[in-house]
Structure 1
Amino acid sequence: MCLDASPPFIVGLTAPLDKTLFRKSIPILAARFPATKLGSVRKSEPMRRSVIDLPRVRSVIPDPSDPTGDKLVLLKASSEVDLPTQTLEFLTTEANGLVPYTLELNYDYWTADEIIQSILPEELREGSPTGFAMTGHIAHINLKDEYLPYKSLIGQIILDKNPQVRTVVNKLDSIDTQFRFFKMELLAGEPDYIVEHHEADCRFTFDFTQVYWNSRLHTEHERLVQIFNPEDVIADVFAGVGPFALPAARKGCAVLANDLNPQSAKYLSLNAENNRVADVVRVSCEDGRSFIQEAATRLIANEFPAYSGPKKSKNQENQERRKQRFVKPQADDVLLPGRNKISHFVMNLPDSAIQFLDAFRGIFSHLSRQDVDRIYATMPMVHCHCFTREIEPENAKADILKRVEEKLGHPVTEDFSLHLVRSVAPNKDMYCISFRLPAKVAFNSE
């Protein structure tokens, strides 16, 4: 027998959500057993097929009529005729009788997906919008138009069913044209948009309504940071609040981190302080094109200190300080050279990053050739995120490479690779194209 434990369908429900409507009473049978027999009952083949197996429902409970006596084993049958012959024979010889029992289910029992399915018209139940992304305490969803009449109910259900969620928002189609963050509406919970989000052993604080953040990109953040060497200097052109910059700095890298959005730059500085990497993260707030053109010159004029190992915890630093109190300073300590070479440019603005590639033309043209030859024996790597409508990998490669080379004004050949980051829509993919900056582009004086 299969018990119907689905919630009642309540189509046409309006906000606020009335949880008392979600109740279901299921009449079943229960078998009385002494507690000493429960082990053999569970192992019995006839019982194994007949004991209730609903998720989040205990199959063995105290007998309400005698809490200190026999236990009740709940059966997935409402009468004896529903039980297999073997099970009935086992119960006749081993159990202390069968009793009726009513299984009571309510709003707390069902999952968010089950509750949402129960409030939607039949034609909308397939593909119901229960999936969401978490950023700090905020759950953000992208509701299709047909689900908007139910948005408040959906938001409340997601809030109820996920204890870690305090705020539920729906991302709107409109995007801030200058700073590229999504506009959103509150569906349920507190109107608190200052989040604390943890990723890659870093703590990020920011106003989710004022900056861009995508939790689905955490694997891409990790992938690129793994490529960096701890001694490298990274130029992060569209740094946001630091998803690339801060993990790189924690690894030991020095980072020139830029973002045009003043809110992003503000929280990026705060996050560098909170993660104790402010000494190796320099934050700027300017147009990406200007940043690209000036970054190498600025670094030569004001280099970072030499790499001194990965960032230590507070406890490790305190231990070292205590040790140093008893260690005599050495007069012949070697002073390591500073870091004045950019090893990687990161351009994580997939909607328009390719349009900024022409800014690399001539970034070394106004530097002395002696400085460039001394510092840049190898050109920096460029990692540029972008979108393409070409779904076939070869077509995507041709499309992206064509647009990149048109902006650079030069073919891309050295250390070239193309990485599929994720699909963002049925006919839209996000890629990261990586290549070594051609020297002829960097020295182009035109």
Structure 2
Amino acid sequence: MKRQCIKIPKKKGESARRVLLDFEILDNSVKIGSDETFLYLPLSREPLSHELADLPEEAELAEFDFEPQERKPTHGDLLGFNPAYELIGDIALLEDPDLDSQKALKIAAALLRTQPNIKTVVKPLTPVIGEFRIREFEVIAGERRTETVHREYGCRYKVDLSRAYFTPRLSTERSRILSRVQEGDTVVDMFAGVGPYSILLAKSKKPSKVIAIDKNPDAVHYLKENISLNSVKNIEAIEGDAREEAKRFAGTADHVIMNLPHSAHEFLDSAVLLTKPGGVIYYYGITPEADLFESSVGFIRKAAENAGRKIEILEKRVVRSYAPYQYNICIEARVI
């Protein structure tokens, strides 16, 4: 089967393979290819520019006809169905909070048996609650912990799921925002959490500065650990209320990220205050199917008018389904 791959001289193959493993983009569903001179390392997705930069200089993108790996039984084979779960680092988070104990144990056993990368299986006991956006969990099987290190686009995020909110389901969205940022820009991440937006942007070395704010002291603790873990310098971690911090950085931001989808509308006045003329706000919301964008655009426009400014809507999109008839949306608005 034809796949995109990294073509690399054999003597450099192992170092390239390790880079792809670190970025989690080596496709293990097929066998690594070779000829007399080169290795062909299959990719699970197209690498980002900073990921390609970490490969040996001899590496190049190519295509190759790969042979499939021998298929091993999956957890779906053992269970007879595919359970819904989210993988964060080496923790599998079962997504159905109403699972009874017996079924949860059965799922956990199948996951631990078939996926060596999973060390712990948990299920949520509460939805995301409180101003710090956290959940309570029950460890179903495996190691008794809720702390892990999650890898994404070559970045590492240490997080305790019971102390700070994190989801890998916005990884594509984070990559999309990265593509919008230009060299020398200033970014303000109003609700940074443990840093998945801020650190990816800072590590790309595009922005001159990333200001990462969060009110949750535990989230900021992990944010600071992750800044060190990823060796990024152009980022400032701030524990504080985004409304108050906006006064300090008024008019400085080329990009303002508002990833607080249940209540971001309450902070729009501060987001407009942060944004320099021509800067862009990335507004995330949870909206009903019958009103995906209209009300949210109205909130953004009203906040701009309150400051004597106008907006230009650059893009409106559905990020993911959140609940029946409810969606996580993003609106990109330029503030003039």
Q: Give the TM-score normalised by the residue count of structure 2.
A: 0.72
- Work out whether residues 96 and 123 of structure 2, in 8 Å CA contact, stay in contact via their aligned partners in 1: yes
Task: Give RMSD over aligned pairs.
Answer: 2.5
- Work out whether residues 230 and 251 of structure 1, in 8 Å CA contact, stay in contact via their aligned partners in 2: no
* CA deviation map 1:334-365 (0-9, x unaligned): xxxxxxx421111111111111102246569x
- Work out whether residues 289 and 359 of structure 1, in 8 Å CA contact, stay in contact via their aligned partners in 2: yes
**Alignment of 1:428 onto 2:319:** no
Partner of 1:403: 299
Q: Report the AA paired with residue 279 of structure 2.
A: P
2:285 pairs with one of 386, 392, 403:
386
**Alignment of 1:189 onto 2:142:** yes
2 CA distance for matches of 1:179 and 1:206?
14
1 CA distance for matches of 2:215 and 2:184?
27
Partner of 1:414: 312
1:178 pairs with one of 131, 138, 158:
131
Partner of 1:354: 265
Deviation of residue 181 (structure 1)? 2.0
1 CA distance for matches of 2:137 and 2:304?
36
Give the 3-state SS of the residue equivalent to 2:132 in structure 1.
coil
Deviation of residue 227 (structure 1)? 0.5
2 CA distance for matches of 1:248 and 1:289?
22
* CA deviation map 1:171-202 (0-9, x unaligned): 23333312112221111100122211111211
- Work out whether residues 194 and 206 of structure 1, in 8 Å CA contact, stay in contact via their aligned partners in 2: yes
- Work out whether residues 129 and 143 of structure 1, in 8 Å CA contact, stay in contact via their aligned partners in 2: no
1 CA distance for matches of 2:310 and 2:288?
21
2 CA distance for matches of 1:351 and 1:113?
34
Instruction: Give percent identity, aligned residues only.
Output: 27
* CA deviation map 1:201-249 (0-9, x unaligned): 1111121221111111100000001110121110010011111111111
TM-aligned CA distance change 1:283 to 1:115, over 3 Å: same
Structure 1: tracts of 5 or more residues without a match: 1-54, 58-108, 118-127, 298-340, 365-375, 439-446
Deviation of residue 132 (structure 1)? 1.8
* CA deviation map 1:298-333 (0-9, x unaligned): xxxxxxxxxxxxxxxxxxxxxxxxxxxxxxxxxxxx
Q: Report the AA paired with residue 293 of structure 2.
A: K
Structure ID, larger Rg: 1
- Work out whether residues 236 and 346 of structure 1, in 8 Å CA contact, stay in contact via their aligned partners in 2: yes
Partner of 2:106: 153
Deviation of residue 379 (structure 1)? 3.5
2 CA distance for matches of 1:174 and 1:429?
16
Q: Report the AA paired with residue 162 of structure 1.
A: Q
Partner of 2:62: none
Q: Report the AA paired with residue 216 of structure 2.
A: N
Q: Counting strand residues as a fraction of each chain, which structure ranks higher? A: 2
Partner of 1:273: 228
Q: Which moved more, 1:260-269 or 1:199-208?
A: 199-208
Partner of 2:215: 260
Give the 3-state SS of the residue equivalent to 2:289 in structure 1.
coil
Structure 2: tracts of 5 or more residues without a match: 1-68
Counting only pairs closer than 5 Å after superposition, residues 115-126 of structure 1 correspond to structure 2 as 115-117=78-80
In the comparison of the two structures, how many residue pairs are matched?
264
Partner of 2:245: 291
Q: Give the TM-score normalised by the residue count of structure 1.
A: 0.55
Deviation of residue 412 (structure 1)? 5.2
